[in-house]
Structure 1
């Protein structure tokens, strides 16, 4: 900044679960270590003991503190209270940068940032969709309403930051070409995570780790596991690790198929701890942007099978034999079966480690994002641009 003082950065998002939370924690820690002041504003009604422990870890890096208040998933009258409380908290912290993540976080950052700007307070307003609202179908009434709101909020946006090219293309197809400056900054993994996690004694064959909701495909995982058992002609083993609103549905699905004893379930835990439970990680999602679980598994040198959705083909390669057809349990099962019958095949199909690390390391992600923050904070006259060209950042 002109006076060399540290940037005051606040990240706004709704649910402190999953990839967005991981993304924000990594940015917050990296930028705090670089001497900047960082804060977080998010929902207080989601998350559990695992997330509380993660907050405790990041808290020493939050010079601007942690603000948690009720921010509901659906749009409702409660949003008015949430926005008012958020406005008072953010105004008191005098940020230079407001970075909204996901639909609700993006709305909080951009609307409140615009109110501050109307009161002649200089603040940069950034938005990262992280998939979020982009998962809606443009052909539905809800989808059209959501995308219209996305378009409208561009007027309150200084920079849209996509985490993968798929997300950028989806935004252009459903919302339209951004009318403000946009950039691509890939998600990144901390240098300390680029080391193999060995399977423990008695490890299961396959691991699902993530939110227990249909979007992430736990039901596809269970179906594919049953098909794989039939294909190889013997019992196999699996583990599902995570929490979510449909947990009981999946437990019932396993019981009905007689899989209760061969698929275990554990609550959410650190991904590297979870990786030790299994030989192969399966990501059966119906929809993604750039999922951290894929990056984390590859950094831990775990063989990975995934649906070809979102930015996953950008990581594994579009022609990777480890990619299954989206929403297709039979396709997943074919790859899972081959991984059992040819144990060395799947590991050989994984990306080359050096190239993967150069492209998806957290230091590159944090430096690229900080460059955007500093540019927007230093040069407010450039914050809003009419149909600025797309910029790609952090490609190797």
Structure 2
């Protein structure tokens, strides 16, 4: 397959699911011998993804937020493909690609209901998606919200050089916002006053959660390098009200960490109940309590089974080796 000059474009202030996706995508495309550049539309200061990509030998460009600068850089660099992530990148880049004859792909990562200005931007993003040559969604529910031809493209991670976890922490990893339901994680912790529950992430709900949480909930804030944290985690809890296919679930399972989740988004494609994790009825905290009890009291043989099955699932279906060739084929229009 011919080498391509590929841009991955996003507007990002911090680290979350989209940023993790772009990081793994950049490394996966580069490992397939493509010339990859991650382009940040605006400069918000030092970015954790930028540091890691540069350390891995990949190229990053940081623009100044101006449409004229974006236009000038695209015309100057002339990438073969530009792949957008997030509403701002999609809205700005797609029309430029159309005018310059550059192949454009857009991935939609979010399907939860938006409010205020974000709702308007999200609507405009979806209703201009037809300008892209290829449109992807990371889950079937998100796919159903896109009003133009689109296809499913699974999230994935690079599984090379990932070490297994031997930790015991019960953890929530994600944005502290309504759709991610960290309040349910806090409620779960109240059933286990003798265990510590760890929250890795930040967001608009943090202050109220800290006020309502029992003493056994530890808030670590947003972590710039989760790779240092994963070895301490033994069970990942995903209590979300809305999801796509969260990167945190793939990151955990690739390290042998089973995931206990409510059945939302595409998690039913990833998790086989009581084989590589647990998939529970939406909002059923009582069943989640039972899962935590069962995991804590399980024998080494059971834990080994969950670990090996989780690793196998990610390697077979959600690794860069499994997904990147399909993506490169889609780029070759």
What's the TM-score bracket when you normalise by the shorter of the two chains?
0.7 to 0.9
CA RMSD of aligned residues (A): 3.1
User: What do residues 199-245 of structure 1 show as CA deviations (whole Å, max 9, x unaligned)?
Assistant: 2xxx43x111222323222221111111x22xxxx611121122334
What's the CA shift for 1:348?
A: 4.7
2:4 aligns with 7
Asked which structure has the greater CA Rg, the reply is 1
Aligned-residue offset at 1:186: 1.8
Partner secondary structure for residue 276 of structure 1 = helix
Partner Cα distance (1:348, 1:319) in 2: 10
Q: Do the aligned partners of 1:305 and 1:323 also contact (CA within 8 Å) in 2?
A: yes
Unpaired runs of at least 5, structure 1: 71-81, 377-396
Aligned match of 1:208 in 149, 167, 172? Answer: 172
- Cα gap change, 1:353/1:55 in structure 2, threshold over 3 Å: closer, same or farther? closer
* Alignment correspondent of 1:386: none
Aligned to 1:380: none
Output the CA distance in 2 between the equivalents of 1:52 and 1:94: 22
Q: 1:274 aligns with which of 217, 222, 229?
A: 229
- Take 2:72 and 2:41, find their aligned partners in 1: how far apart are those partners? 16
Across the two proteins, how many residue pairs are aligned to each other? 328
- What is the aligned partner in structure 2 of residue 187 from structure 1? 155
Contact 2:137/2:152 (CA < 8 Å) preserved in 1?
yes
Higher relative CO (CA 8 A, sep ≥ 6), structure 1 or 2? 1
Distance in 1 (CA, whole Å) between partners of 2:199 and 2:122 is: 34
Work out the CA distance in 2 between the residues paired with 1:128 and 1:275.
26
The structure-2 alpha-carbon separation of the partners of 1:186 and 1:217, relative to structure 1 and needing over 3 Å to count, comes to same
CA distance in 2: counterparts of 1:69 and 1:223, whole angstroms: 43
Q: Which runs of 5+ in 2 are unaligned?
A: none
Runs of 4+ in 1 over 6 A off after TM superposition: 140-144, 318-321
**TM score, norm. by length of structure 2:** 0.84
* Cα drift, residue 142 of structure 1: 7.9
Q: Normalising by structure 1, what TM-score?
A: 0.72
Deviation string 1:295-349 (CA, Å, 9 cap, x unpaired) is 1111111122112111111100379771233345444334323333446667656
Structure 1 residue aligned with 2:281, among 325, 332, 341? Answer: 325
Mapping for residues 36-47 of structure 1, pairs under 5 Å: 36-44=34-42
Counterpart of 1:99 in structure 2 is: 83
Indicate the residue corresponding to 1:237 in structure 2: 196
Pick aligned residue for 1:30 from 24, 28, 31: 28
CA contact (8 A) 1:162 1:183 kept: yes
- Is the alpha carbon distance of 1:193 and 1:330 closer, same or farther for their aligned partners in structure 2, counting shifts above 3 Å? farther
User: Aligned pair in 2 of structure 1 residues 186, 27: CA closer, same or farther (>3 Å)?
Assistant: same
